[in-house]
Amino acid sequence: MISKARLAGLGTPIWVGVAGVVVTLVAARSLALVGAVVVAAVTAVMIVATAVAEALRRLLARMRRTPLRSRGLELADFEAPARVPRLLMRPRGGPLVDVVLAVPSVAVLGWLLWRDHRSGLRLRAVDAISTAVRRFEPDVILYFAGNPEEVYQLRMWFAPVDRLGVRALVVLRSDAVMDELTDSPFPVVSSTYNGLIASLPLPKRVVTLFVTHSGNNLSMLRRPETVCVFVGHGESDKPDSSNPYARVYDEVWVAGPLGRRRYAEAAVGVRDDVIREVGRPQFVPPDTPPPKPPVIVYAPTWEGWGDDPHHSSLPHLGVRLVDALLANPGVTVRYRPHPLTGRRHPDVRRAHEAIVKRVGRVPDDEPIERTMAGAAAMVLDVSSVIAEYLAYDRPYAVADTRGMGRRTHTRRFPSTGGGFLLGPDLSGLDAFVVAATGGRDSTTAKRRALLHDALGDPATSQDRFAAAVGRLRRG
């Protein structure tokens, strides 16, 4: 019985209510007073009603969160049910208000549940959204199966796809991401069910751009109508930029020759003939110099999903680095951590919090290109930000927390070869600060050579991206 109630969404609230009833009645009986029994009975009714109301709220919320959701599509004559009054769903004023509203809430919520069930709300929503997708006939799909914290990986492709001037559709695999993503310039559909994604009515040929690897990509990868392309969310010398999972796509798009070599050297089975160099259409270098006085941005990566203790420089030299930069008169220091910083390791979180106390932080919702445009120089970890910052032709430094030295470090992480290298003792920092403040820069020639290796010509990135999409759309 308990298990069935829980499956129906009635588990915890009902059983808490039942427990309250039992305790109250036992107490009233022991008092052997008529008045106490009446009070106990009323209390019991209110406890049960409150528990049932909470259970009905959960059921109603689940019923109205349909298996297939959409935003920005024309749904013809389908009308979603009117919102339930906030007072019924989220009583304000604490437990007392909830108890007072318990009995009427049960009546209203029960009627709404019965009405939604009788109307076949969930099936009607799926049919209406599927029909809307068929009518929309997307040319390009942006597919994202990540978490809300990773939605920046999707957003970075909005502008390049928008500039294509085609019908684009965003397909998500998470209700939480759907709730988070309210700023999409394109219609959005979302479902946690593989079967619904696998049966979406699509045109005979559609280009699907995948921004991250995920097991949930399979439901779209199996579609014969789709030409599947992995575009990623930035390139770096991390293993993710040469992941063997990339073998499942029809094509893999990289920014420049360096990205192509990564797959060849990793020997993970990605054929060279499926790789296309399309640049980084997200980033257009500014025509104006960075503001003065100079701003140096420290943008470390997070600790990663693996067990590499040197994935992020934060716990090794982050606080010392910021203090050393602040010691230079006339230099402004800004801190832009990765959105996931400190999620896995306490030492990373402690260093992060110490730096925030010193200089604050750039908000997660500030676009990375705005941060880079305002930086005279950046201190970075091995990450995709290096390749993106190369387009600005300004000094950068990379933390060598392992103490590998320039030759070994550059061989292992080629994208760092155009910058200054900071050792575990912050050696190299003085020369970097000189370059960042307009003095001698010994890395200029190497940085510009690396730019073309990593990105090709940044000025042609959008054109190359558009040409690649157009070629696949035409077949």
Structure-block tokens of residue 312: 């992020």
Same domain for 119 and 177 = no
Kindly state whether residue 410 falls inside one of the protein's structural domains: yes
Same domain for 300 and 426 = yes
Could you tell me the residue range of the domain that residue 250 belongs to? 137-277
- pLDDT of res. 339: 85
Same domain for 310 and 437 = yes
- pLDDT of res. 357: 96
Pick the last residue of a domain from 95, 124, 153. 124
pTM of the entire structure? 0.78
Helix, strand, coil shares of the chain, percent, nearest 5, are 50, 10, 40
- C-alpha closest to that of 109 among 65, 66, 54, 46: 54
* Omega before residue 244 within 30° of 0, cis: no
- pLDDT of res. 475: 84
Kindly state whether residue 288 falls inside one of the protein's structural domains: no
- pLDDT of res. 345: 86
Looking at beta carbons, which pairs linking 323-328 to residues 24 or more positions away fall under 8 Å? 323/358, 324/426, 324/429, 325/296, 325/298, 325/379, 325/429, 325/433, 326/358, 326/359, 328/433, 328/437
Same domain for 181 and 151 = yes
From edge to edge, which strands make up the β-sheet containing 420-422?
332-335, 295-299, 377-380, 396-399, 420-422
Which CATH number covers residue 301? Answer: 3.40.50.2000
What ranges make up the beta strands (E) of 27-177?
A: 69-71, 140-144, 168-172
Angle, alpha carbons 419-424-428 (nearest 5°): 40
- pLDDT of res. 189: 97
One pLDDT digit (tens) per residue for the chain, 475 residues = 444 444 444 444 444 445 455 555 555 555 555 566 666 666 666 677 677 767 766 765 676 678 899 999 998 777 766 565 665 566 655 555 556 566 666 667 665 666 666 667 788 889 999 999 999 999 999 999 999 988 999 999 999 999 999 999 999 999 999 999 999 999 999 999 999 999 999 999 999 999 999 999 999 999 999 999 999 998 888 887 899 999 999 999 999 999 999 999 999 999 999 999 999 998 776 677 777 889 999 999 988 777 778 889 999 999 999 999 999 998 999 999 988 888 888 999 999 999 999 999 999 888 888 899 899 999 999 998 998 899 889 999 999 999 999 999 999 999 999 999 999 999 999 999 999 999 999 999 999 999 999 988 888 999 999 999 999 999 8
Q: What is the DSSP string of 229-266?
A: EE--S---SSGGGG-GGGGGSSEEEESSHHHHHHHHHH
Same domain for 209 and 245 = yes
Pick the last residue of a domain from 77, 100, 124. 124
Same domain for 445 and 321 = yes
The position carrying tokens 């959960």 is 58
pLDDT 10s digits, 198-250: 999 999 999 999 999 999 999 999 999 999 999 999 888 888 789 999 999 99
Same domain for 75 and 184 = no
Kindly state whether residue 46 falls inside one of the protein's structural domains: yes
Same domain for 356 and 264 = no
- pLDDT of res. 391: 87
Same domain for 143 and 20 = no
Same domain for 345 and 324 = yes
Q: What is the Cα–Cα distance from 388 to 369, expressed in whole angstroms?
A: 8
Kindly state whether residue 474 falls inside one of the protein's structural domains: no
Same domain for 272 and 216 = yes
* Cα 190 from chain centroid (whole Å): 15
207 membership: H or E segment, kind and range: strand 206-210
Kindly state whether residue 283 falls inside one of the protein's structural domains: no
- pLDDT of res. 307: 75
Q: What is the Cα–Cα distance from 325 to 323, expressed in whole angstroms?
A: 5
Kindly state whether residue 300 falls inside one of the protein's structural domains: yes
Number of domains in the chain: 3
What ranges make up the beta strands (E) of 332-472?
A: 332-335, 377-380, 396-399, 420-422
Same domain for 251 and 304 = no
123 membership: H or E segment, kind and range: helix 121-136
